[in-house]
Chain A
Amino acid sequence: MIPVCSVDDVPAGEGRSIDVEGRRIALFNTPTGWYAIDHACPHAGGPLADGIAADCSVICPLHERRYALDTGAPIGHAGGPVATHRVQVLDGRVCVALGEDAGADDAAPAAAVAA
């Protein structure tokens, strides 16, 4: 687990990106918990951290494809999934474990943090 930021760093309901060991990750602070997925949209590389997050999914700001934040699965379109990573909140620090083949079960959300 690599500490990436403090719980106050990502505004409630939004996402921010960060470089973790050479990989660009998007971190989301949502009412149901923290999620980490790859920052680049599998479609055309759109910045997913800049998307609109709601109901455990994010909508890419470029062409509005939707992905589940917990599993990375595409929602409502036939594109590929986005890789997910494990997140944990320890003492107010948000920590990420890169999942090379980050699968669905790996990505249980960390508890929600009131911001």
Chain B
Amino acid sequence: MSMDGTVPGAPGVVVVGGGIAGQAVCEAVRELDALTPITLVCAEPRLPYDRVRLSEILVSGASCETLALRPAEWFTDHHVGTLVGRRVVEVRAAERLVVLDDGAELPYTALVLATGSDALMPPIPGIDQPHVHPFRGPEDCDAIRDAATTARHAAVIGGGLLGLEAARGIASQGCAVTVVHLMDRLMERQLDAGSAALLERALGMDVLFERQTAEIAPDRLRFAGGDELEADLVVVSIGIRPQAELGRATGCAVERGIVVDDGLRTTVDGVWAVGECAQHRGIVHGLVAPILDQARTAAAAICGDTTAAYEGSIPSAKLKVSDVPLVAIGATDGDGEVVSQDAGRGVYRKLVVHEGRAAGAILLGDVRGAEALLGLVRRGDEVEDPLAVLAASAEAGPAEWSDDTQVCDCNGVCKGQITAAVTEEGARTPREVMAMTRAGTGCGSCKATVVDLVALAAGGEVADEPAYLCPCKRQTREDLAAVVREQGLESVSEVSAACGTGRDCGACKPALAYLVSEVNANRHREERHARFINDRVHANIQKDGTFSVVPRMYGGVTTPEELRRIADVAEQFDVPLVKVTGGQRLDLLGVKKQDLPAVWEALGMPSGHAYAKAVRTVKTCVGEDFCRFGLGDSMGLGVELEKAWEGLHTPHKVKAGVSGCARNCAEATIKDVGLVAVGEGRWQVRVGGAAGGNVREADVLATVDSRAEALRVATTFLQLYRENADFKERTYDFVPRWGLDRIREEVLGEASGAALRERFRLAKAAVTDPWLERREPYHPRQFTDLDDEPAAAREPAVVGPPEEALR
């Protein structure tokens, strides 16, 4: 049985291999012919997914499901039978029959081999060890990611596009990594020496050139020259090996890949080959764009078009994992070339000309005009004045492009098609256009351009993209908030039942918990099972399952008495580590869950909220009281701010800082909210700063005349963020998404600001110190496991501000 419940068996098109090629063949055949039975056999245990975006999994740890090329319903809707986790082991071409691994037989009228390739693993001694991985499938990504969290030093063998992608992925896990390359420069097939050197500098990675790995030992690589590199995690990315075995066994001619003609036919009647397993005019293409061209041609040929011909593709590559923009198109050298280079800014732009025609281009650091140049090279346009062409390409924006300028290389979508989707077919949002044309749904690197073009076609009016709170609900935060409001829902279970599938989902329960509390101004039915463990026990879970406790010290200011108490508690409970946090607080690390209530009781200080999606700490400098530069009372204002915001939940954690002058010792300009004294009682209010994986300087929301006003503006902004950001959206994403102008309007506007502050007041009125639950737990076993003594039981209650505050 196939996934859609139909029984495959009626002869039709059988596609072997559920990769990008296999999927594209199914779609292209279905577009030409609504009736022919199609069966897709996928050896991997899942429906086709976007292999190009695999490194996202490596970086984020997300599940491969998020990369599905089409949802499962697509196959049902389009009558494409799927056999998942099954493998074709034999083709009996004379009988037009394939045999599956469980012995089942499947007749066909046309057979398409889309078996792809494997990562090339050279026979280096030691390559079979468990710490050596290819970089090809989701399992590899999971394994590399896991290893990277504990490895001391990683090595990536291979300095091509994929190797660099793998190295970036590993580095993102905090693991040091060195790229080992056989050649003398990175990406030697796509780049010339000049651009490769600039790229190397821009990436800032450790690279060893001209090293041939002779042996992989458990903790190091040994090179042919005798030197060594420490490495307890090794990723090999030196190329692909087409999976041509099935083709060979079928009787097809096979060289590097399965040999095909311009109609993608193999040498065996009724058998086609498409994708990385196929060799066309001597070339095996390892990129998506040519594969999709091939799939369209093969589908036409299968559906009876005898003239359909694929004439090869111009390779073009984009580096997608880093903040270094890079596009390489076609040839790197010709009989003529122009280069414009600005090494200081890391910009390198080159146009290669051969026999008077555009033959290639390299754009690094500034990729404006990539689409236009690709079109030029693809058509092989004559180039009279290369310098002028290169200069003009950087000037032309999407508005000036011709309609046949290709925007999405992966799916071969031109500007004209995108425009038409808006002007003729009535698409309103980029997402709709992407669904209609498939532009931007491949590697995603053209998404921003698609958005621009949609805006252009729509005359600047683009409807907002739906950003679902969770895929399980297919509703945006606003949709859900509206339901909560209209139906008066008070708890996560009620929302779960009323929305989406009606079932609860672990992934979005915490987001819904925030939503019900926020929409109801904190007055809601608190269901602890919807909260992350940190919010169930009011401490921060650590990697060994113990917790860390951060008592609140407003503004980072403390007293000898408090310090003494903290020290006593640390001794009394054998706290293994006491640490000053980045937010100027004391962190007691390694506290057992069942000890938490006693620890708080002994501390007798409020919760530092260092564990929740909430207002965390306000960092301060010493300011005018003590500092000889101080222009304002940063400590005092910091304490005031922290008290005003204490205990409020927010979409993500909020960190604030107050500096007494522009020297900025509290680093207020890289905080979610930062206040900086600028003299004469005036304060700068800054929002949306970050000092994490990305550094973002906070924008100046306003400069105000008094301390009270600073507090007011900052608080109004906080409420705006609380009400409008998506769950887990930090201010540094929220501020640019909303735009500073709109935020200023809402926050500084008299009526809108007052309304925000009123809602803030209500939410704040409901705040209690969660640490008080030590005396009144919501359940006798709030803090204990089943082998510890439980606390006394208590009735669950509605939490919220006192009734009078609501009036």
Q: What separation, in Å, do the CA atoms of A27 and B65 have in the docked complex?
A: 28
Q: What separation, in Å, do the CA atoms of A54 and B793 have in the docked complex?
A: 24
Interface string of A30-67 (1 = CB under 8 A from B): 01000000000001111101111111011101111010
Task: Indicate if the CB atoms of A61 and B779 lie closer than 8 Å.
Answer: no
Task: Indicate if the CB atoms of A55 and B503 lie closer than 8 Å.
Answer: yes
A76 and B541 in contact (CB under 8 A), knowing A10-B781, A16-B785, A54-B505? no
A45 surroundings in chain B (CB, below 8 A): 544-545
Is A108 in the interface zone, CB < 8 Å from B?
A: no
Is B138 in the interface zone, CB < 8 Å from A?
A: yes
Task: Indicate if the CB atoms of A18 and B528 lie closer than 8 Å.
Answer: no
A43 surroundings in chain B (CB, below 8 A): 146
B545 surroundings in chain A (CB, below 8 A): 45-47, 50
A12 surroundings in chain B (CB, below 8 A): 529
Q: What separation, in Å, do the CA atoms of A12 and B492 have in the docked complex?
A: 13
Is B543 in the interface zone, CB < 8 Å from A?
A: yes
Is A14 in the interface zone, CB < 8 Å from B?
A: yes
Task: Indicate if the CB atoms of A78 and B506 lie closer than 8 Å.
Answer: no
Task: Indicate if the CB atoms of B781 and A77 lie closer than 8 Å.
Answer: no
Task: Indicate if the CB atoms of A52 and B532 lie closer than 8 Å.
Answer: yes
Task: Indicate if the CB atoms of B506 and A11 lie closer than 8 Å.
Answer: no
Q: What separation, in Å, do the CA atoms of A75 and B146 have in the docked complex?
A: 16
Interface string of B535-578 (1 = CB under 8 A from A): 01000010111000000000000000000000000000000000
Is B64 in the interface zone, CB < 8 Å from A?
A: yes
CB distance from A81 to the nearest CB of B (A): 14
Interface residues of A in 72-115 (CB under 8 A from B): 75-79
A63 and B506 in contact (CB under 8 A), knowing A11-B529, A16-B786? no
- Interface size bracket, A side: 35 or more
Is B368 in the interface zone, CB < 8 Å from A?
A: no
A53 surroundings in chain B (CB, below 8 A): 506, 529
Is B494 in the interface zone, CB < 8 Å from A?
A: no
Is B533 in the interface zone, CB < 8 Å from A?
A: yes
Q: What separation, in Å, do the CA atoms of A13 and B503 have in the docked complex?
A: 13
Q: What separation, in Å, do the CA atoms of A46 and B149 have in the docked complex?
A: 14
Interface of A is mostly: loop
A4 surroundings in chain B (CB, below 8 A): 786
A21 surroundings in chain B (CB, below 8 A): none
Is B465 in the interface zone, CB < 8 Å from A?
A: no
Q: What separation, in Å, do the CA atoms of A60 and B506 have in the docked complex?
A: 10
CB distance from A46 to the nearest CB of B (A): 7
Task: Indicate if the CB atoms of B786 and A17 lie closer than 8 Å.
Answer: yes
B375 surroundings in chain A (CB, below 8 A): none
Q: What separation, in Å, do the CA atoms of A9 and B593 have in the docked complex?
A: 16
A55 and B506 in contact (CB under 8 A), knowing A63-B61, A78-B138? yes
Is B804 in the interface zone, CB < 8 Å from A?
A: no
A62 and B786 in contact (CB under 8 A), knowing A52-B510, A55-B503? no
A50 surroundings in chain B (CB, below 8 A): 533, 536, 541, 545, 593
- Measured CB to CB, the nearest residue on chain A to B501 is A55
Task: Indicate if the CB atoms of B786 and A27 lie closer than 8 Å.
Answer: yes
- Measured CB to CB, the nearest residue on chain A to B545 is A47
Interface residues of B in 767-807 (CB under 8 A from A): 778-782, 784-787, 790, 793
Q: What separation, in Å, do the CA atoms of A14 and B779 have in the docked complex?
A: 11
A-B contact pairs, 19 of them (CB 8 A): A5-B786, A10-B786, A11-B528, A11-B782, A13-B528, A14-B528, A14-B536, A16-B786, A31-B504, A44-B543, A50-B593, A51-B506, A52-B530, A54-B509, A59-B506, A63-B61, A75-B63, A77-B142, A79-B142
The 8 A-B residue pairs with the shortest CB-CB distance in the complex, in nearest-first order? A13-B529, A76-B63, A18-B786, A54-B506, A47-B545, A11-B779, A50-B533, A54-B504
Knowing that A16-B785, A50-B536 are A-B contacts, what are 20 other residue pairs whose CB atoms are under 8 Å apart, sorted by A's residue number?
Answer: A9-B790, A11-B779, A17-B785, A18-B785, A44-B149, A44-B543, A45-B545, A47-B545, A50-B593, A51-B533, A52-B506, A53-B506, A53-B529, A55-B503, A55-B504, A61-B532, A61-B533, A66-B63, A77-B63, A78-B138
